[in-house]
Amino acid sequence: MSSATDAPTEELPADRFSDRELSWLAFNQRVLELAEDTTVPALERAKFLAIFASNLDEFYMVRVAGLKRRMAAGIAVQAASGLTPRELMKRVHDRTRTLQSQQAQAFRDLMPTLRDAGIQILRWRDLDVDEQKAMSQMFDEQIFAVLTPLAVDPAHPFPYISGLSLNLAVVVRNPNTGQEHFARVKVPPTLPRFVPLDGGEHFVPLEDVIAAHLGSLFPGMEVLQRHTFRVTRNEDVEVEEDEAENLLKALERELSRRRFGPPVRLEVEETIDPHVLELLSEELDIDRNEVVTLPWPLDLTGLFAISGLDRPEMLYPPFLPMTSPELSEVETSDAPEILEVMRSRDVLLHHPYDSFSTSVQAFLEEAADDPNVLAIKQTLYRTSGDSPIVHALINAAEAGKQVLVLVEIKARFDEQANIRWARKLEQAGCHVVYGVVGLKTHSKLSMVVRQDEDGVLRRYTHIGTGNYHPKTARLYEDLGLLTSSAAVGDDVSKLFNVLTGYSLTTDYQRLLVAPHSVRSGLIERIDREIDHHRQGRPATIRFKVNSIVDEQIIDALYRASQAGVSVDVLVRGICGIKAGVPGLSENIRVRSILGRFLEHSRIYWFENDGEPDVLIGSADLMHRNLDRRVEALVSIVGEQHVANLSAILDLSFDPRTASWHLMADGEWVRESQDDDGEPLADLQTELIALKRQSRRAPLR
């Protein structure tokens, strides 16, 4: 095959990449637009406000903190977008201020809708006398003892302000001396952010309740001022694995340091006294550019609790995942044995439309109980502490099976939890390893080795796009393949040997594995589509990813576009590619879909001269995925499964499906109505309906 990379294409311009950080902020703006959408149920809008706030917190803790750290160390370099570190930091701060102001307005706009439904967030001043008495009694009984007022004076240095904590800056005066003093009161994170009034659907912000009782905390003093503020700190974790004598212990030490990371953002109420703000800025050593002034209330992540109220009419219609048609019996009510089904055919799963508990979870539980199963090998990146997956692995080990679990203890913000249940697995007799030095193991793999009745030692595997996390499996859209294919089993065996031993295997039959072959394998397939197109043969590229920023992949797609190949990209989050730019990406269309489920699966679809070459797996198109993680993509070979994946992409890119469109100027435009003002179809609602229509009909 000729190399398409050697074929003449127009020179690629230097400004061909969108900035990663600004693109992420554009993604969070799309989340915010769902909170602003009056066609979205009201409590779901409250949840999207909380998601926006939580997303932005993490963005500052990791991305902004990392940029600030590199700038301070003098190692920050110009971004691929061409922005200098200082230019980028300024744009980030300006954009986040605008977005947080927009969020505050969305909160104000949502309150009347909630109030009309009987749900209210009330200020202390809005309460009547009886309600204030009830709150005062609650303060005395449940809140007062938890509070610790911390004075600031020559004998009491400025206290440490923990990251993401809500605080009251209090100014009091001694009536005897007339001297003013500053103190800080932390709003306890162990108590509800919005306190329910009489156990109903009226709530009072916890900081309001505390502020109304500051006299109890500073008896004899005059309370002059109180202002709410919040600090975000650098909470990323860095471990020098090459120098760590024990990765587990090194990570635990680093986690203990995380709490004391330097501040990267200070949020204050717009009513704050300038002198108090100056004191906070100086004591926290934070630049005024890092100060965000907002209207009340700060920290809208507390809306998660309110969005969970039992008000079905204010939520998305209930949806119960169904057992995959390929795993359900029509003739009887009994579910077939999953390993038996896998011996006869591959099973393609689409969560949450296909139940995780009756497929992947059942697969591992059945294997744990099967006396003919000899071994189970499993990767775990994130899972819940009470996960039935973990229990199944423990049961298998206690039953005498050989159980190997590769636990990725460096999964960001889940490190502490992962360490806990890694030790729990070890105590049960599982062999627990922590992967390859210098790489995160992000691949989603499970393999069961069984001595079958026909005398054959078979390997049953599951390869997925999402974590083995039963709770998020109900909220995240993901794909998975259950197969007893000998080729896949051989590939997965080799990969586990790489992860647990000293194998240097990079040759696989149906897998692409990062960091060795995912990028090169995808670029080879892109080049093949270019060749097909130039020869007049069918050629199309369609990707569904969470993020795309890898410059080599993007450049390959630009070359494909310049050669005339049709390219469609569905991206949920970060997007470094530009769409529809004359001479560069005229044949590239980029869409984004957000909704009740988090679009999380990755699909790489190539038309391949009428014989589609399709892969699914764990890898996004980012440097970290392609260079610093162990990722796995598996090719899908079943004709019906390829057709089902094609149908998902067809529906996603259908002009009649609501989505955001990336324009040539880099702006995202939401398309939710047709030319007649009628709402466009919601992808996830359509997929739910298709699942309910027929449990055996192909998705076409």
Residues annotated as catalytic (active site), given as ranges: 442
Q: Give Dmax (Cα) for the chain.
A: 93
Tell me the C-alpha distance between 587 and 577, whole Å.
12
**Burial of 650 (C-beta count, 10 Å sphere; 0-12/13-18/19+):** middle
Distance CA(9)–CA(23), nearest Å, equals: 27
How many Å apart are CA 329 and CA 413, to the nearest integer?
41
**Tokens, residue 187:** 């709003």
Q: Per the structure block, which two tokens stand in for 255?
A: 């986690």
Distance (Å) of CA 470 to CA 309, 356, 467, 474: 22, 7, 9, 7
Q: 442-454 as b/e, with b when 16 or more CB fall inside 10 Å? A: bbbbbbbbbeeee
- The residue among 473, 462, 474, 469 whose CA lies nearest residue 385 is 469
Phi and psi at 65, nearest 5°, equal -60, -40
Query: How many Å apart are CA 322 and CA 235, to the nearest integer?
Result: 39
What is the residue type of 152?
V
For 601, left (φ over 0), alpha (ψ -120 to 50), or beta?
beta
Radius of gyration of the chain (CA): 27
Tell me the sheet residues that pair with 311. none
**Termini Cα distance of the chain:** 33
> How far apart, in whole angstroms, are the C-alpha atoms of residue 350 and residue 342?
16
Total residue count of the chain as it appears in this document = 700
Query: ∠ CA 679-685-689 to the nearest 5 degrees?
Result: 120
DSSP line for 147-182: ---EEEBTTBPPPP--TT-EEEEEEEE-TTT--EEE
Q: Which residues, 6 or more positions from 409, have their beta carbon under 8 angstroms from its beta carbon?
A: 247, 248, 251, 415, 418, 419, 422, 434
Question: Which of these, 491, 437, 438, 442, lies nearest to 619 by C-alpha position?
Answer: 442
CA-to-CA separations, 607 to 27, 537, 632, 640, in angstroms, rounded:
29, 10, 21, 15
